[in-house]
């Protein structure tokens, strides 16, 4: 018996020919993106290059017009978002999506409720323990009984991250601009959390950001998009010397 493509060669995520159009605009154009289990990968590119659309495709929010997405060798590109989450893919949104009238702790526990709905309940004590530990890691534990709408923008990002890490088991975390507009101390908390969860639990990250200095500290390698296409990939040193990348950023 042969295993599914991708599973055997160590890819956690593999896209082929991934394409999304909006009318005449090809926002993501035949993207081949591969992530190894345990990577912390950056995804960069000028405004409008297709990064958010890529995250929306990977998380099932958008359906691809062409191409495929495999997670651990299995196709996920026809699954609805909640079933992609159930396979261990979490995400954050640039504009936080939280339940404003629910508490911080309740928001963090939403993925555990979803697991109950899918017939995969987890012990109550485990859920609470995990939620409290994640809220502590993200410096939100003292706010756990506050309603989410009272949080600042940065704190809302921290809560989105705690909630994503409540997905169990968590394999891949997609983050869209997690550092945009947040206070430097919150930025440090986010960076430490990413590194800690990567080290301790092997969580793979794909981080979309315009903050090169931050990404350089987090990501051994980055993928560069331009006009929907993957134009370069490698370490910061490698891509900085890449003529096409320089041209994409500086214009022709
Ligand atoms: N829902 C949509 N409907 C129509 N066009 C869209 C939609 N979402 C994105 N686009 C277009 O697709 C292209 C890629 O957008 P996308 O948001 O993926 O870029 P991005 O790389 O995330 O940019 P930024 O760095 O500004 O966030 C842009 O031209 C954008 O205007
Ligand atoms: Mg974007």
Residues in the chain, pLDDT under 70? 1-9, 251-252
pLDDT of amino acid 9: 61
Using a CB cutoff of 5 Å, list residues around ligand 2, an ion.
Answer: 52
pLDDT of amino acid 5: 47
Q: Which token pair is 239? A: 């891509």
Reported as a single tens digit per residue, the pLDDT across 48-92 is 999 999 999 999 999 999 999 999 999 999 999 999 999 999 999
Residue of minimum CA distance from atom 3 in ligand 1: 22
Give the fold, CATH level 3, of 23-99+167-250.
Rossmann fold (3.40.50)
- Ligand 1 centre and the CA of 55: distance in Å? 11
Which atom of ligand 1 is closest in space to residue 56's alpha carbon?
18
Q: Which residues contact 183 (CB under 8 A, 6 or more apart)?
A: 152, 154
pLDDT of amino acid 123: 86
Residue of minimum CA distance from atom 27 in ligand 1: 47
- Ligand 1 centre and the CA of 146: distance in Å? 34
Please work out whether the CB of residue 43 comes within 6 Å of at least one atom of ligand 1.
Answer: no
Please work out whether the CB of residue 229 comes within 6 Å of at least one atom of ligand 1.
Answer: no
- Ligand 2 centre and the CA of 209: distance in Å? 8
């Amino acid at each position: 018996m042969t295993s599914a493509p991708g599973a055997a060669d160590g890819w956690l995520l593999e896209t082929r020919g991934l394409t999304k159009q909006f009318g005449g605009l090809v926002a993501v154009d035949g993207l081949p993106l591969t992530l190894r289990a345990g990577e912390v990968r950056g995804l960069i590119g000028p405004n409008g290059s297709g990064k958010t659309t890529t995250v929306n495709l990977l998380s099932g929010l958008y359906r691809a017009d062409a191409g495929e997405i495999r997670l651990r060798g299995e196709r996920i590109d026809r699954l609805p978002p909640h079933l992609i989450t159930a396979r261990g893919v979490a995400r954050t949104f640039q504009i936080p999506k939280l339940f404003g009238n629910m508490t911080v702790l309740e928001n963090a526990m939403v993925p555990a409720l979803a697991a109950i709905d899918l017939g995969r309940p987890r012990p109550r004590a485990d859920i609470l323990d995990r939620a409290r530990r994640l809220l502590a890691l993200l410096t939100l534990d003292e706010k756990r009984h506050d309603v989410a709408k009272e949080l600042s923008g940065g704190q809302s990002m921290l809560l989105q991250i705690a909630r994503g890490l409540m997905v169990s088991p968590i394999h891949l975390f997609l983050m869209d601009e997690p550092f945009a507009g947040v206070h430097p101390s919150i930025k440090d908390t986010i960076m430490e959390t990413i590194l800690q969860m990567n080290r301790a639990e092997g969580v793979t990250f794909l981080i979309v950001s315009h903050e090169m200095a931050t990404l350089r500290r987090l990501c051994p390698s980055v993928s560069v998009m331009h006009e929907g296409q993957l134009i370069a990939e490698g370490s910061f040193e490698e891509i900085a010397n890449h003529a096409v990348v320089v041209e994409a950023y500086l214009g022709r």
